[in-house]
Each structure stands twice: as C-alpha cells, then as structure tokens.
C-alpha cells in the first residue's frame, strides 16, 4: 500500500505541474504591463528633472512610452470576448492532464513493471542461503561488514578477487592493499595486488606492479603467477629474450596438468616462435633447456625436430589431444615444413571428427596459417 500511495502522490504532483500554468490569467499579466509603463513615465520625468537627460530626449522617451501605454490600455478595455483566450484548448489540456497522465503511467507500469512481485527488503535478501543470493548482494554484505570492521584483513582478501572479476579494478587494488596491511605479507597477496594494478592499467605491467611481483618472487621463488607477469613486463619493455627465458623455466618446472600451462606456452610462442614445438608431453626439463643453450644452431634444430617427432608419435596414440595437434601444426610451420603441417591438420581433423568444437579450432588454426589455400 505504501508504494501505491507514493505513486499516487507522484502522479498528483505531475498533474499539478501541468495545470498550474493553465490557471494563470492573461489579464493579470496585462495589468502588470500597464503598471510598468506608468513607472517608466515617472522615471523619465525624474531623469529630466535631475538633468540626466535633456528636454528633447525626455520628450521623445515620454512619447514612446505613452504610445505603448495607450496601446496596452486599449487592450485592457476591450470586450472580454476579444481579449480572453478561448477556453477550449485549456480544457483539452486539463482533461489530458487529469486522465491521460495517470492512465499512461499506470499502463507503462503494468507492462514494464512487476506489480505482483513482493517487496524484498535488504535484510530479507541477506537472510537467504549464500547459493540463492546474487553476487551483488554478497558483495554488499561483505562491504557492510568491512564498513564496521575496516581492519578485517581476511574480509578484504575475500573481496579483492571478486572486485577483479566484476571489473572494479580500483576497488580491487584497495582491497588487496588492505589485505596486505592488516593480514601481513605473502607471495599470493603481493601477486594479487600486482595483478589488480595490471588490470587497472589495462594490461600494462606498471612499475608498481613489477615491484609487487618481484616481492612475491622473493617470498616464494616458485610462485608461477608473479613469474609470468615479470616475463610479460620484459616483453612489454622490449626484452623478448628475457621474457622467453623466464617463461621457458616456468614451463619446465610446471606440472603437466597445470591449467595455466597452455597460456604460458602461447605467450612464449609470441617472443620465440621456435618454442612452438617445445611443449611435447612430457615437456623438457630445466636440465634439457640448460643443455640446449650450449648446442650449436644445427644441433638445436635437430633437437627440435626430435621433439616434434615424439609429439607426432604420441598423437597417433592419443588423437584426442587438441592442444597437442595445434602445437604439432605450428611446429611444422616453424620448421618450414608446410606439407607436413597440412598433413598434420588433416590427421587432426580425422582424429577429432567426433568433436565439432575441437574440429572448429583445428580448422581456424589451419586457416590462420594459410594451410587451406
């Protein structure tokens, strides 16, 4: 009932705003006009007596004001039928305001609104089980808690990644900073702060972000996230060799089932195309990479060919590995063996024919490499 009462008051206010100008009479305005002209005549006389204007100027001004005064007086004394506006347009507008406005507002609300939806106070929404609440409601609940307990580092740590997913990057930076201040320093918290700073800078690894990632590596030399971002910073600074070095070691030390492994391999392929053939399973160890750095270019090329051959042999046995097929096709292209790359794409299509999504990715990759022409 309260809601409908508020709607009624708003409608009444809108109708009043329309009817008020219609209720004002033109005659009152004209009477005011006569008073203005009389004041102007008196002011002309005062200016002449004070010597501010000459007699000729005063006479000309008096004649002009008198002419306007007489014209206004003639209108004022005219019959009411001549000077009054027709009441018909006013009545039409008044009827429209009294009927059309309320009906139109009600119609729009019934079509676009939800009059049958019960009210949902904030307290009731917060009382629902977590799985039934929206993400905005959960965030509001944590924010309310932190408003009363601003030094709760755990609360800030929970909220920070949510802000990041919602695109509230500045809030994420603040939350990560508070988590560090109130809960202490860890590699994960420093990495989270650095990642939020990168998001705020639209993907650029800023100097502040680099400091956070470097501190994270000091706290945990094996942490993958800060090492990846430090490689990205090197790439953005125009040091692709340094980026490749960081990412190669990261890939070599990663578990074979690490969910981020493919992403790092793609980044490595950007700065070192010859590395596209490297991710055969299992990947090379740190010792293999160190040994490869001591080889001549011909020996390294032969080593890459061996890796590609092992990858091709594995895919004959495990044909459902989409990432493996993509790596094999790219590896043949890097080696300059286009025919073998085209053959690998054909083999991949046959092996993945039962999976439309994987088949689409193979076709897109082959098209992007110019293998379908």
Q: How many domains does the chain have?
A: 2
CA–CA separation, 239 vs 234, rounded Å? 5
Read out DSSP for 176-205? Answer: HHHHHHHH---HHHHHHHHHHHHHHTTT--
Q: Which residue has the tokens 């307990």?
A: 149
pLDDT of residue 282: 45
* Domain end call among 46, 80, 112: 112
In this predicted structure, the answer to whether residue 71 has a pLDDT above a threshold of 70 is no
State the number of CA atoms in the 13 A half-sphere of 358 facing the CB.
18
Mean pLDDT across 223-242: 92
In this predicted structure, the answer to whether residue 242 has a pLDDT above a threshold of 60 is yes
Is 324 part of any domain?
A: yes
**Which of 361 and 31 is assigned the larger pLDDT?**
361
Q: How confident is the model at residue 315 (pLDDT cuts 50, 70, 90)?
A: confident
pLDDT of residue 205: 92
Is 74 part of any domain?
A: yes
* Domain end call among 70, 91, 112: 112
Domain that holds residue 61: 2-112
Give, in order, the Cα–Cα distances in Å from 339 to each of 229, 333, 373. 36, 9, 12
Is 103 part of any domain?
A: yes
Is 69 part of any domain?
A: yes
Is 262 part of any domain?
A: no
**Which of 128 and 5 is assigned the larger pLDDT?**
5
Is 63 part of any domain?
A: yes
* Domain end call among 112, 144, 174: 112
Cβ burial of 154 (10 Å; 0-12, 13-18, 19+) is exposed
Is 353 part of any domain?
A: yes
Q: Tell me the average pLDDT of the chain.
A: 75
CA–CA separation, 242 vs 221, rounded Å? 17
Cβ burial of 271 (10 Å; 0-12, 13-18, 19+) is buried
Mean pLDDT across 329-346: 84
pLDDT of residue 286: 46
Is 362 part of any domain?
A: yes
- Asked if residues 280 and 267 have their Cβ atoms less than 8 Å apart, the reply is no
DSSP state of 373: -
Mean pLDDT across 117-136: 55
Cβ burial of 219 (10 Å; 0-12, 13-18, 19+) is middle
Q: How confident is the model at residue 112 (pLDDT cuts 50, 70, 90)?
A: low
């Amino acid at each position: 009932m309260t809601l409908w009462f508020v709607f009624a008051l708003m409608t009444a206010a809108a109708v009043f705003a329309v009817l008020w100008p219609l209720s004002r009479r033109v005659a009152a305005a004209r009477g005011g006009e006569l008073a203005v002209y009389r004041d102007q005549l008196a002011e002309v006389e005062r200016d002449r007596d004070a010597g501010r204007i000459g007699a000729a100027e005063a006479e000309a001004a008096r004649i002009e004001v008198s002419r306007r005064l007489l014209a206004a007086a003639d209108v004022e004394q005219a019959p009411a039928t001549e000077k009054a506006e027709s009441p018909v347009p006013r009545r039409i507008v008044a009827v429209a305001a009294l009927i059309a406005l309320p009906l139109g507002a009600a119609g729009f609300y019934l079509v676009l609104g939800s009059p049958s939806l019960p009210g949902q106070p904030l307290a009731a929404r917060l009382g629902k089980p977590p799985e039934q609440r929206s993400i905005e409601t959960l965030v509001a609940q944590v924010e309310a808690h932190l408003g009363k307990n601003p030094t709760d580092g755990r609360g800030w740590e929970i909220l920070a990644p949510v802000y990041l997913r919602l695109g509230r990057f500045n809030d994420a930076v603040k939350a990560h900073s508070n988590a560090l201040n109130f809960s202490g320093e860890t590699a994960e918290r420093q990495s989270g702060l650095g990642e939020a700073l990168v998001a705020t800078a639209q993907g650029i690894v800023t100097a502040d972000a680099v400091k956070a990632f470097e501190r994270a590596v000091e706290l945990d030399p094996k942490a993958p996230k800060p090492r990846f971002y430090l490689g990205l910073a090197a790439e953005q600074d125009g040091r692709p060799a340094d980026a490749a070095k960081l990412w190669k070691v990261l890939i070599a030390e990663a578990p074979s089932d690490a969910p981020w492994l493919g992403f790092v391999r793609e980044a490595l392929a950007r700065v070192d195309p010859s590395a596209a053939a490297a991710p055969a399973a299992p990947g090379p160890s740190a010792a293999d990479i160190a040994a490869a750095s001591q080889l001549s270019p011909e020996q390294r090329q032969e080593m890459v060919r061996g890796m590609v051959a092992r990858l091709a042999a594995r895919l004959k046995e495990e044909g459902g590995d989409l990432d493996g097929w993509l790596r094999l096709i790219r590896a043949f292209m890097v080696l300059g063996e286009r025919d073998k790359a085209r053959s690998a794409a054909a083999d991949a299509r046959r092996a993945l024919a039962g999976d439309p999504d994987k088949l689409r990715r193979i076709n897109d990759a082959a098209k992007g490499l110019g293998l379908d022409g």
